[in-house]
């Protein structure tokens, strides 16, 4: 989905935010109000970060990493003093420990105008709400590490921290510049696909429901007394909205919050994507637009739709809401990494701004930059383990090579043998070893145990639970027993991969899916070169509806773009079958650029949208300096880009290169010739792996022309010579 909803995670309020219609005067007034709530430069910045992995039952693995992700971001991008960041993790995060830390660190220390951040990563749950604020009569909770259940007056009770309690604590913080991030949920529990759910589902186990214990209710009464707030006033306020500031929840009320497995580390899917996004952003970053763009990744990859609630009330679907993330503008340049330790000419760095799709192999070159992104030195990455990288100073100002120095990607090293990782689901049962052997024998396919690393897809059989969950998600739900590919969370499927019989063997399914694997591998390689946050080329890409070109459906830009806007359209848009759309790509460089545009459907099928004349010279894809390419364009292209059903996702990939992509075009010409494709029409790629490999060869040749860093086991992509951007369109019926 693309439209964010007002969060109901802690049920401070009942319904979703209604779409607001802003007049120009409304926008001016609102922008002024948000400018006034931007924290002053001399404001103190306080943060309380809570992460719990070591639950006695149902342990998690990525919550302490979330704390580290937030801490490094707040210190190195938003200028927090490390002394003003309090971390409470694992055994420290008892009920009393969390509440004491909130009172002592945020409530007692914050002053009006200061900035305060509270982050929680851990399990969530639910208890019966005595006031029944919501239709189901439940209130969300945070589960401390010492959470216990017991009996009081014949009822099952727990010592969780209720959403009602958090409302009171927020009310007591003296500043309005408060941001609360909650990476937990209260749906389900246990494992789902390649992730664990950050929830303890007590209601399914306990008859009669679960209630807050006396200690929790007494604590609320203490705060009502301190705040001089009556019970009726408390009820009315929390049903109206959040107490103050901004609350961000990692998933909507009926979804799972993923404790996800990435390449070499575990983290909350939302926290990782959020902090990575904030590392990469240039200029001002409004929280509304940021959550919309972060949602694009969490929805596609983790089936999570983050939710947002603000005071004054925010409109998640309006570009008029300009309050910045954390009520602050970033105090440093965007970056992919930060140096954490130096010994001689060797360094260790934190790779918090790196995309999960970015393999970042050895021979990657990183630039040490100042706060204005001016290069001071070059570093070569020698190794990477999860979020930790190690490298060597190559050249430049040795004085700048120090802890705290920011690193921007300059040349990306991509392994020549990049693999497609397929997880094996327990539903394969006795066919597990058979499936593994068949996958291993396939070219560039790796079979993986779930929970042992990041996977691209999961091979499994449809179970009765799967069928129930998929109802309404896909047009045709496969029969129980059919084999095919799931997304990593198992919340969705690649529908066209389930075409075999219910008694099909795992080996036969792998054989049947060979063409699909090649297509998915090509997509994996293509995504490995996406670099909007690091490209130095100035390129913007926009999708607009024909007949209303002034209204952008989706937009994105490179770091090198001079388009600095505080209200940029999100990178994901919403379209309906029958909509006629156009892609516009602007070359903001002073040099001409070679541009290609590809479309990828929900099933992974790839189509070249531009250039559409494969018989023309390579210069046919050249777009002049300062010019805008329109795809399709009347008089040049013999087609319209009309959206068709069913519901799903269309991804648009834009490639802009300083040098011609000759090998890529040669491959396209061969495919067009064999298929009888005539010039001027989009070309469906029947041999995606060969075309993408040709593209990588072109890009490596381009890099080789500028930097002598080529090695056989690695292909290099130069951020000064290539821009690779992605936009998504969700098709809704």
Question: For the segment 599-611, what is each residue's pLDDT rounded down to a tens digit?
Answer: 887 666 778 888 8
Are both 323 and 345 inside the same structural domain? no
Query: What is the average pLDDT across 1-16?
Result: 34
Task: Identify the residue whose tokens are 């001399």.
Answer: 42
User: What pLDDT, in 10s, does the model give residues 180-198?
Assistant: 999 998 755 566 677 888 8
Task: Record the pTM.
Answer: 0.85
700 vs 413: CA distance, rounded Å? 10
- Using alpha carbons only, what angle is made at residue 110 by residues 107 and 113, rounded to the nearest 5 degrees? 135
Beta strands in 52-209 (DSSP E): 85-89, 115-121, 124-128, 138-142, 149-152, 155-158, 161-162, 177-183, 191-192, 195-197
686 vs 509, residue with greater confidence:
509
470 and 385, same domain (yes or no): no
Domain boundary among 398, 414, 430: 414
Same domain for 129 and 212: yes
- Give the least confident one: 25-29, 448-452, 483-487, 688-692: 25-29
> Which CATH number covers residue 402?
2.40.10
Structural domain range at position 452: 420-512
168-197 core/surface letters (b: 16 or more CB in 10 A; e: else):
bbbbbbbbbbbbbbbbbbbbbbeebbbbbb
Q: Give the pLDDT band (50/70/90) at residue 19.
A: very low
Q: How confident is the model at residue 692 (pLDDT cuts 50, 70, 90)?
A: low
Q: Distance between CA 585 and CA 465 in Å, rounded?
A: 44
Vertex 243: Cα angle to 238 and 244 (nearest 5): 155
Count of Cβ atoms closer than 10 Å to residue 455 Cβ: 24
Q: Is residue 19 part of a domain?
A: no
Judged by DSSP in three states, 333 sits in coil
Quick check: 402 pLDDT over 70?
yes
Q: What is the mean pLDDT of residues 701-720?
A: 58
389 shares a domain with 319: no
Round the average pLDDT of the chain to a whole number and report it. Answer: 82
Diameter of the chain measured on Cα atoms: 83
pLDDT at residue 696, as a whole number: 58
Are the C-beta atoms of residues 269 and 701 closer than 8 Å to each other? Answer: no
| Together in a domain, 404 and 491 | no
- Is a pLDDT exceeding 50 seen at residue 31? no
pLDDT-derived band at 33 (thresholds 50, 70, 90) equals very low
pLDDT score at 347: 97
- Boundary of a domain, candidates 294, 327, 360: 327
Q: Does residue 207 sit in the same domain as residue 244?
A: yes
Rg (CA), the chain: 26
The answer on pLDDT for 58 being more than 60 is: yes
Residue 564 pLDDT > 90: no
Same domain membership, residue 632 and residue 547: yes
Q: Which helix (H) or strand (E) holds 732?
A: none
Whether residues 184 and 288 fall in one domain: yes
Average pLDDT over residues 125-138: 84
Residues 362 and 457 in one domain: no
Asked if the structure places residue 34 within a domain, the reply is no
Same domain, 140 and 82: yes
Q: Give domain status of residue 520, yes or no.
A: no
What is the pLDDT, as a whole number, of residue 527? Answer: 83
Domain shared by 246 and 290, yes or no: yes
Residue 318 in any domain: the answer is yes
Q: How many domains does the chain have?
A: 4
11 in a structural domain: no
Q: Give the 3-state DSSP-derived string for 580-611, with helices as H, strands as E and coil as C.
A: EEEEEEEECCCCCEEEEEEEECCCCCEEEEEC
Tell me, yes or no, whether 519 lies in a domain: no
Kindly state whether residue 210 falls inside one of the protein's structural domains: yes
Q: Quote the strand ranges of 416-514, DSSP E.
A: 420-424, 445-449, 457-461, 483-486
Per-residue pLDDT, 506 = 95
pLDDT at 439 over 50: yes
DSSP state of 471: B
Tell me if 517 is assigned to some domain: no
Nearest Cα neighbor of 53 from 37, 70, 35, 66 is: 66
Tokens of 552: 């952008």
Segment 357-376 mean pLDDT: 85
- Are 176 and 190 members of one domain? yes
pLDDT of residue 108: 97
Q: Which domain-ending residue is among 414, 449, 466?
A: 414
The C-alpha atoms of residue 661 and residue 510 are separated, in whole angstroms, by 34
Question: What pLDDT is attached to residue 327?
Answer: 92
Share of the chain above pLDDT 90, in %: 45
The Cα 472–Cα 476 span in angstroms is 9
CATH of the domain at 98: 3.40.50.1460
């Amino acid at each position: 989905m693309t439209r964010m909803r007002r969060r109901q995670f802690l049920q401070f309020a009942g319904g979703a935010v209604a779409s607001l219609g802003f007049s120009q005067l409304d926008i001016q007034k609102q922008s002024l109000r948000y400018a006034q709530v931007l924290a002053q430069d001399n404001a103190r910045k306080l943060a309380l970060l809570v992460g719990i992995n070591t639950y006695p039952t149902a342990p998690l693995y990525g919550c302490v990493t979330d704390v580290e992700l937030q801490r490094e971001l707040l210190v190195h991008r938003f200028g927090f003093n490390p002394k003003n960041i309090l971390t409470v993790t694992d055994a420290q995060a008892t009920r009393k420990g969390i509440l004491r830390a909130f009172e002592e660190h945020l409530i007692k220390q914050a002053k009006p105008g200061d900035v305060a951040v509270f982050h929680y990563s851990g399990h969530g749950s639910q208890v019966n709400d005595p006031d029944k604020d919501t239709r189901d009569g439940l209130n969300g909770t945070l589960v401390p590490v010492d959470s216990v259940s017991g009996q009081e007056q014949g009822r099952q009770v727990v010592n969780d921290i209720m959403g009602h309690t958090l409302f009171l604590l927020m009310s007591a913080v003296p500043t309005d510049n408060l941001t609360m991030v909650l990476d937990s949920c209260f749906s389900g529990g246990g494992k789902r696909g390649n992730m664990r759910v950050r929830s303890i589902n007590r209601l399914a186990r306990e008859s009669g429901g679960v209630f807050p214990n006396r200690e929790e209710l007494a604590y609320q009464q203490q705060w009502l007394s301190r705040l001089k707030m009556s019970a009726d006033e408390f009820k009315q306020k929390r049903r109206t909205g959040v107490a103050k500031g901004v609350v961000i929840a990692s998933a909507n009320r009926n979804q799972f919050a993923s404790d996800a497995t990435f390449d070499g580390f575990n983290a909350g899917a939302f926290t990782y994507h959020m902090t990575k996004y904030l590392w990469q952003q240039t200029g001002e970053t409004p929280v509304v637009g940021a959550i919309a763009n972060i949602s694009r990744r969490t929805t596609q990859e983790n089936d999570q739709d983050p939710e947002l609630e603000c005071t004054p009330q925010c409109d998640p679907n309006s570009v008029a809401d300009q309050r910045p993330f954390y009520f602050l503008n970033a105090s440093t340049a965007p970056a992919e990494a930060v140096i954490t330790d130096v010994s001689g000419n060797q360094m260790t760095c934190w790779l918090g701004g790196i995309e999960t799709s970015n393999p970042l192999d050895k021979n990657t070159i990183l630039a040490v930059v100042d706060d204005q992104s001016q290069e001071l030195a070059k570093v070569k990455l020698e190794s990477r383990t999860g979020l930790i990288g190690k490298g060597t100073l190559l050249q430049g100002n040795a004085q700048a090579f120090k802890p705290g120095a920011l690193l921007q990607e300059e040349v990306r090293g991509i392994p020549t043998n990049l693999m497609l990782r397929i997880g094996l689901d327990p539903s394969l049962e006795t066919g597990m070893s058979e499936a593994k052997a068949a996958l291993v024998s396939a070219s560039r396919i790796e079979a993986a145990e779930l929970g042992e690393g990041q996977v691209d897809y999961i091979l499994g059989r449809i179970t009765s639970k799967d069928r129930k969950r998929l109802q309404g998600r896909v047009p045709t739900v496969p029969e129980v027993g059919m084999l095919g590919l799931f997304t990593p969370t198992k919340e969705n499927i690649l529908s066209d991969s389930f075409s075999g019989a219910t008694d099909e063997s795992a080996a036969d399914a792998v054989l049947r899916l060979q063409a699909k694997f090649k297509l998915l591998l090509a997509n994996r390689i293509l995504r490995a070169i996406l670099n909007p946050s690091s490209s130095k080329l100035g390129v913007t890409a926009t999708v607009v509806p024909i007949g209303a070109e002034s209204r952008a459906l989706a937009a994105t830009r490179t770091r090198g773009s001079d388009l600095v806007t505080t209200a940029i359209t999100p990178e994901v848009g919403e379209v309906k079958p029958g909509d006629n759309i156009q892609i516009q790509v602007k070359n903001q460089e002073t040099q001409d650029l070679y541009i290609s545009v590809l479309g990828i459907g929900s099933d992974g099928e790839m189509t070249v949208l531009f250039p559409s004349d494969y018989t023309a010279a390579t210069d046919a894809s050249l777009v002049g300096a300062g010019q805008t390419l329109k795809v399709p364009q009347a008089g040049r292209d013999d087609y319209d880009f009309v959206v068709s059903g069913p519901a799903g996702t269309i991804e648009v990939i834009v490639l802009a290169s300083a040098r011609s992509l000759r090998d890529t075009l040669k491959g396209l010409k061969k495919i067009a010739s064999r298929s009888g494709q005539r010039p001027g029409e989009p070309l469906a790629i029947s041999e995606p792996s060969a075309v993408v490999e040709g593209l990588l060869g072109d890009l490596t040749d381009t890099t080789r022309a500028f930097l002598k860093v080529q090695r056989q086991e690695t292909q290099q992509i130069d951020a000064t010579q290539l821009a690779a951007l992605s936009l998504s369109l969700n098709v809704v019926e």
